[in-house]
Amino acid sequence: MNMREIQKMQQKLMKMQEELESTLFTGTAGGGAVTITMSGKYEITEVKVDPEAFSADDIEELEVMVKAAAKDAHDRVTDAQQKLVSGATGGMKIPGLF
């Protein structure tokens, strides 16, 4: 690879990373009872809880589901980042990228 190709790849990666960071990912738990929306920068932007799915006695269950939905959203962002890097580099491992 020459410097020009590397610079083009870096520019492409930066643009793709910006697009990823502005994308929203949704994680759910309990069949949609809890939904968490997370940006590509791993920032939680929205938390929704179906009030019909829980009673005051179900707080522990709700806490578990919020955690599960957050992990689901987090995993979706991580998968998207890995696909972005893999696609942009043709599967080559480049030190310092993610």
Query: Residue 37 has what pLDDT?
Result: 98
Taking each continuous run of H as one helix and of E as one strand, the counts in the chain are: 2, 3
Q: Is the pLDDT of residue 5 over 90?
A: no
H/E segment holding residue 49: strand 44-49
Least confident of 10-14, 21-25, 50-54, 87-91: 87-91
Which domains, from first to last, does the chain contain? 3-89 (3.30.1310.10)
The whole-chain average pLDDT of the chain stands at 88
Q: In what order do the strands lie in the sheet with 24-29?
A: 24-29, 34-39, 44-49
- pLDDT at residue 93 greater than cutoff 80: no
Q: Would you state the pLDDT for residue 10?
A: 86
Predicted confidence at residue 95, as pLDDT, reads 60
